[in-house]
């Protein structure tokens, strides 16, 4: 052991509660502070402290800080990391918040929470010690084979990286200079690991256990790098081969090669064929047809059709063809592609398919055709009849988040020359982009928004590199050495210095909601459910669109008139019929539910006009699924009662009040879940479709299955919708 005394942390530490990341000893992390207790900790302890001890705090992972200090303190994680606050950057726009740069010192265990307000303070027990261990042969022997095995994998991992990068070269030097005891924590914080894995390493108090848990993480990272390097090597070799072939063809063309000989033979064949036609003494009409056919088959740009040309490219007779977006086929003067596809896709005749260029029959019965479309409404019925339809629902929010963090974000980082050390996009930020900036079944718009964020960050990174280049002078050449020893040399005065608040953001740049507003602008979509249902005559329906499910508001109003029903909102014929069915059913059941018009008559249309409106009038709406929503909306209008603000519904109705099944249940339920609704009314015959809905969505929602409109109305209103309801009674939600 060293003769130097170990660094000992105070026995009492203020606690910083975090839930976004895990700080390990020896690593550095940037964390955002905007909750009540954490803000008090920064203002009272860090910004007003006058000693080095005042900059030491306890970081508790996996524990969110309540938004208000009036709320009770949540259960605290048992193991934490004592940390030194290296930098504090604050801002008052749009609300007070701070960003802390903290460096982990050692582990500690909470013994007792002494106080909870204005910020939590706990009595702690230090679990490991931050010492200066000599790098001697004796120390290596004491560490044993486990340490040597870990060191071997660590060196292998670092040497697989680009050593020309200064940070990589510095990391390689640190492997030899740092004590082996510190390496598991440091490398775990550097390699790609989840917060759960980092939390397990933090909880591993035993050094032997720490080594055993970290070695598999290193091996996993090494295998991933090997696969990545292998893939890149093949891609580079292919690119080089393509580049080498193109100059040979374009520049170093040698006359008399095999390619020239083939072209000469083709020209000779054409000349000989034309000569034979001229000397054949065929009739004039036949001669014209022959000459026309030769020109058709030899003019520049002539080639077989796309199907035959594709078969020629792959060289097999049983490939898979992808026909993308067949719902966007259109007729033109060149022909009707839908009619041409009939012959290709029809299993009764595609075994004898004839291409108009070759005029030779070809068997397409072994080819598998996969077509994609956003909607089947625009596909010709005859063509649709030849297809097996597979409905692919849109992604859930959870699926979009995983796709973004596994595929889209790494792709955008690579395209914009960024690294995870330069930009961090938390999952909560991704959720904000999905719910407030995009509205789609897929992830195409999400990918574009992530690209816009990466471009904005790339500009900031380039500006920062330019600024560092200007400041790169001989008198600051020792700056790197200073940053290595910043833990020991940090002065308390630097934390109180107000100039630190104006420092530019350091890497990584954290993308939060405020950054989203600056980069992407104000949110494009906002949830407005409760505001829209603040008066009678409004109900929420569920609709299916090619972009996924959507909630749909139905509004109704009445005025003095001649019994006319006005429908607005670009409705199709089916929805117009649903509206007439709903008003007819209500008129026939007005006495049962004591529904009257303004004059007290049970004839709801007597001297009364009704106006039904479906907002977002620029969007055409049609389909058999709005009947129950229209009936509920009109029942609310004539009863003067509010529809429950957390209820959405879908289903078609009959004149007798039966509820019929509809399609697109999964997409519609996901739309209700996105909007924050709690109950969904569906036809009873659609109950089987609930099996397709993810389990976490089913847990958040209550489903009501209905066979008739009576059951729908009872579920849509607080306290039910029974015959005892009196006209003119308004049940306030307050």
- Listing DSSP states for 50-88 in one string gives -SGGGGEEEEE-S-PPPSSTTSPPPPPPSEEEEEEEEEE
- Determine the Cα–Cα distance for residues 697 and 215; give it in Å rounded to an integer: 37
Query: How many other C-beta atoms lie within 10 A of the C-beta of residue 269?
Result: 10
Among 60-69, 107-116, 404-413, 674-683, where is mean pLDDT lowest? 60-69
- Determine the Cα–Cα distance for residues 687 and 556; give it in Å rounded to an integer: 29
- To the nearest 10 degrees (0 to 180), the angle between helices 444-471 and 427-436 is 130
- Determine the Cα–Cα distance for residues 279 and 297; give it in Å rounded to an integer: 21
- Determine the Cα–Cα distance for residues 680 and 649; give it in Å rounded to an integer: 5
702-706 and 679-683 strand pairing: parallel
- Determine the Cα–Cα distance for residues 155 and 158; give it in Å rounded to an integer: 5
- Give CA separation, 365 vs 106, 314, 327, 349, 351, in Å: 69, 16, 23, 9, 5
Q: Are 271 and 320 in contact (CB under 8 A)?
A: no
577-611 confidence digits (pLDDT tens): 888 999 999 989 888 888 888 778 888 888 888 99
- Give CA separation, 466 vs 459, 471, 522, in Å: 11, 9, 30
Residue 274 tokens, joined: 């034309």
Among 204-213, 252-261, 446-455, where is mean pLDDT lowest? 252-261
Task: Considering only residues 140 and 517, tell me which one the structure prediction assigns the higher pLDDT.
Answer: 517
Phi-psi region of 632 (alpha: psi -120 to 50; beta: other; left: phi over 0): alpha
Q: Above 90 in pLDDT, residue 624?
A: no
Class of the CATH-defined domain 530-716 = alpha beta
Q: Above 50 in pLDDT, residue 729?
A: no
Q: Are 665 and 690 in contact (CB under 8 A)?
A: yes
Among residues 18, 19, 21, the alpha carbon closest in space to that of 420 is found at: 21
51-95 confidence digits (pLDDT tens): 788 889 999 998 888 877 778 888 899 899 999 998 888 877 667
Q: Above 80 in pLDDT, residue 689?
A: yes
Return phi, psi of residue 536, to 5°: -65, 155
Q: What pLDDT was estimated at residue 334?
A: 55
User: H-type helices in 178-283, by residue range?
Assistant: 183-190, 195-203, 207-250, 258-278
Return the CATH fold of 12-126: 2.30.130
636-663 confidence digits (pLDDT tens): 998 888 999 889 999 999 999 999 999 8
CA neighbours closer than 13 Å in the CB half-sphere of residue 651: 30
Specify the CATH architecture of the domain 395-466+505-526. Answer: Orthogonal Bundle (1.10)
Overall residue count recorded for the chain in this entry: 734
Q: What pLDDT was estimated at residue 446?
A: 94
Q: Parse the chain into domains and list their residue ranges.
A: 12-126, 139-230, 317-390, 395-466+505-526, 530-716
Cα(first)–Cα(last) distance of the chain, in Å?
70
Residue 121 tokens, joined: 């303070």
Q: Above 50 in pLDDT, residue 233?
A: yes
295-352 confidence digits (pLDDT tens): 666 544 455 677 888 888 898 989 999 988 888 887 655 567 777 788 888 888 888 8
Distance of CA 392 to the CA centre of its chain: 18
CATH superfamily of 317-390: P-loop containing nucleotide triphosphate hydrolases (3.40.50.300)
Q: Above 60 in pLDDT, residue 691?
A: yes
DSSP-derived 3-state class of residue 110: strand
Q: What pLDDT was estimated at residue 335?
A: 60
94-133 confidence digits (pLDDT tens): 678 888 999 999 999 999 999 888 889 999 999 876 444 4
Q: What pLDDT was estimated at residue 732?
A: 39
179-208 confidence digits (pLDDT tens): 888 889 888 888 888 888 999 999 988 888
Among 226-240, 472-486, 624-638, 686-700, where is mean pLDDT lowest? 472-486
Which residues are CB-contacts of 506 (< 8 A; sequence separation ≥ 6)? 30, 87, 101
CA neighbours closer than 13 Å in the CB half-sphere of residue 27: 23
Among 294-298, 398-402, 490-494, where is mean pLDDT lowest? 490-494
Average pLDDT of the residues of the chain: 79
Query: Which of 322-331, 402-411, 685-694 holds the top average pLDDT?
Result: 402-411
Measured on CA atoms in the order 241, 246, 249, 253, is the torsion positive or negative? negative
Among 250-264, 267-281, 305-319, 452-466, where is mean pLDDT lowest? 250-264
Q: Above 50 in pLDDT, residue 466?
A: yes
Q: Are 108 and 82 in contact (CB under 8 A)?
A: yes
Q: What pLDDT was estimated at residue 490?
A: 39
Q: Above 90 in pLDDT, residue 408?
A: yes
Q: Is 296 exposed, middle or buried (0-12, 13-18, 19+ CB in 10 A)?
A: exposed
Q: What is the enclosing helix (H) or strand (E) of 484?
A: helix 479-484
Q: Are 102 and 83 in contact (CB under 8 A)?
A: yes
Q: What is this structure's pTM? A: 0.48
CA neighbours closer than 13 Å in the CB half-sphere of residue 85: 35
Residues marked active site are found at: 625, 668
Per-residue confidence band for 245, with pLDDT thresholds at 50, 70 and 90: very low
Which residues are CB-contacts of 245 (< 8 A; sequence separation ≥ 6)? none
Contacts of range 697-700, beta carbons closer than 8 Å, 24 or more positions apart? 697/396, 697/669, 697/670, 697/673, 700/673
Q: What pLDDT was estimated at residue 84?
A: 92
Q: Above 60 in pLDDT, residue 241?
A: no
Residue 411 tokens, joined: 């792709």
> Mean of the pLDDT values across residues 409-418?
94
Q: Above 60 in pLDDT, residue 714?
A: yes
Q: Above 70 in pLDDT, residue 14?
A: yes
Percent of the chain past pLDDT 90, that is, above it, reads 25
Per-residue confidence band for 680, with pLDDT thresholds at 50, 70 and 90: very high
Q: What pLDDT was estimated at residue 163?
A: 76
Give the alpha-carbon dihedral of 90, 93, 95, 97, to 10 degrees. -20
Which residues are CB-contacts of 555 (< 8 A; sequence separation ≥ 6)? 537, 538, 612, 613, 614, 615, 633
Q: What pLDDT was estimated at residue 243?
A: 43
Q: What pLDDT was estimated at residue 5?
A: 42
Q: Are 213 and 204 in contact (CB under 8 A)?
A: yes
Among 67-71, 251-255, 265-269, 563-567, where is mean pLDDT lowest? 251-255
- Listing DSSP states for 487-535 in one string gives HHH--HHHHH-GGGGGSPPPSSEE--HHHHHHHH-S-S----HHHHTSS
Percent of the chain past pLDDT 70, that is, above it, reads 79
Give the alpha-carbon dihedral of 252, 253, 259, 264, to 10 degrees. -170
Q: Are 310 and 321 in contact (CB under 8 A)?
A: yes
Query: Where does 357-449 show beta strands of DSSP type E?
Result: 361-362, 368-371, 423-424
Among residues 675, 416, 659, the alpha carbon closest in space to that of 548 is found at: 675
Q: Above 70 in pLDDT, residue 441?
A: yes
Q: Above 70 in pLDDT, residue 715?
A: yes
């Amino acid at each position: 052991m060293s003769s130097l005394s170990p660094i000992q942390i105070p026995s009492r530490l203020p606690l910083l509660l975090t839930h976004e990341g895990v700080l390990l000893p020896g690593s550095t992390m940037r964390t955002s502070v905007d909750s009540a207790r954490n803000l008090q900790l920064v203002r009272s302890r860090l910004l007003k402290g006058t000693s080095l001890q005042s900059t030491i705090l306890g970081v508790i992972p996996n524990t969110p800080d309540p938004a208000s200090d009036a709320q009770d303190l949540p259960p605290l994680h048992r193991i934490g990391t004592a940390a030194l606050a290296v930098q504090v950057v604050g801002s008052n726009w749009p609300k007070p918040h701070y960003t802390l740069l903290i460096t982990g010192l050692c582990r500690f265990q909470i013994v007792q929470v002494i106080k909870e307000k204005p910020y939590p303070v706990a009595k702690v027990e230090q679990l490991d010690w931050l010492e200066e261990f000599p790098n001697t042969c004796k120390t290596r022997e004491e560490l044993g084979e486990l340490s040597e095995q870990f060191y071997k994998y660590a060196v292998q991992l670092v040497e697989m990286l680009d050593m020309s990068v200064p940070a990589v070269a510095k990391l390689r030097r640190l492997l030899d200079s740092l004590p082996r005891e510190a390496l598991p924590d440091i490398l775990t914080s550097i390699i790609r690991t989840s917060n759960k894995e980092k939390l397990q390493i933090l909880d591993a108090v035993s050094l032997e256990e720490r080594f055993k848990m970290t070695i598999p993480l290193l091996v996993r990272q090494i295998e991933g790098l090997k696969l990545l390097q292998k893939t890149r090597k093949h891609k580079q070799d292919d690119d080089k081969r393509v580049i080498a072939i193109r100059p040979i063809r374009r520049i170093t063309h040698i006359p008399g090669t095999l390619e020239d000989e083939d072209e000469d033979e083709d020209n000779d064949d054409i000349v000989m064929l034309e000569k034979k036609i001229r000397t054949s003494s065929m009739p004039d009409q036949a001669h014209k047809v022959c000459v026309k056919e030769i020109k058709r088959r030899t003019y520049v740009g002539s080639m077989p059709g796309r199907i035959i040309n594709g078969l020629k490219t792959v060289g097999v007779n049983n490939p898979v063809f992808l026909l993308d977006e067949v719902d966007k086929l259109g007729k033109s003067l060149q022909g009707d592609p839908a009619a041409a596809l009939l012959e290709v896709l029809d299993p009764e005749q595609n075994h004898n398919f004839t291409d108009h260029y070759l005029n030779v029959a070809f068997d397409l019965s072994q080819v598998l055709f996969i077509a994609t479309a956003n909607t089947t409404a625009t596909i010709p019925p005859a063509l649709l009849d030849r297809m097996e339809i597979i409905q692919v629902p849109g992604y859930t929010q959870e699926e979009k988040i995983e796709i973004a963090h596994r595929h889209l974000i790494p792709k955008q980082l690579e395209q914009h020359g960024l690294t995870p050390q330069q930009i961090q996009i938390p999952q909560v930020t991704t959720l904000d982009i999905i719910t407030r900036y995009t509205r789609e079944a897929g992830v195409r718009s999400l990918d574009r928004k992530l690209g816009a964020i990466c471009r904005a960050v790339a500009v900031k990174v380039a500006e920062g590199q330019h600024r560092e280049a200007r400041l790169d002078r001989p008198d600051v050449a020792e700056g790197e050495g200073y940053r290595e020893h910043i833990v020991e040399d940090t002065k308390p005065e630097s934390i109180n210095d107000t100039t630190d608040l104006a420092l530019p953001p350091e890497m990584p740049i954290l993308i939060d909601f405020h950054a989203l507003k600056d980069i992407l602008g104000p949110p494009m979509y906002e949830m407005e459910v409760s505001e829209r249902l603040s008066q009678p005559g409004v109900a929420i329906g569920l609709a299916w669109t090619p972009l996924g499910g959507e909630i749909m508001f139905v509004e109704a109003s009445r005025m003095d008139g001649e019994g006319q029903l006005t429908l607005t909102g670009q409705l199709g014929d089916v929805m117009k019929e649903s509206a007439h069915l709903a008003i007819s059913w209500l008129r026939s059941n007005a006495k049962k539910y004591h529904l009257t018009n303004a004059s007290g008559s049970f004839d709801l249309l007597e001297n009364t006009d009704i106006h039904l409106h479906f907002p977002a009038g620029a969007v055409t709406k049609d389909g058999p699924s709005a009947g129950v929503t229209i009936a509920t909306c009109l029942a609310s209008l004539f009863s003067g009662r509010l529809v429950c603000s957390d209820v959405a519904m879908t289903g078609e109705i009959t004149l007798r009040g039966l509820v019929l099944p509809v399609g697109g249940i999964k997409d519609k339920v996901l739309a209700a879940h996105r909007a924050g609704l709690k109950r969904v009314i569906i036809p009873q015959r659609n109950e089987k479709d609930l099996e397709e809905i993810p389990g976490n969505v089913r847990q958040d929602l209550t489903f009501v299955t209905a066979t008739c409109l009576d059951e729908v109305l009872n579920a849509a209103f607080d306290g039910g919708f029974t015959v005892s309801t009196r006209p003119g009674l308004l049940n306030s939600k307050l």
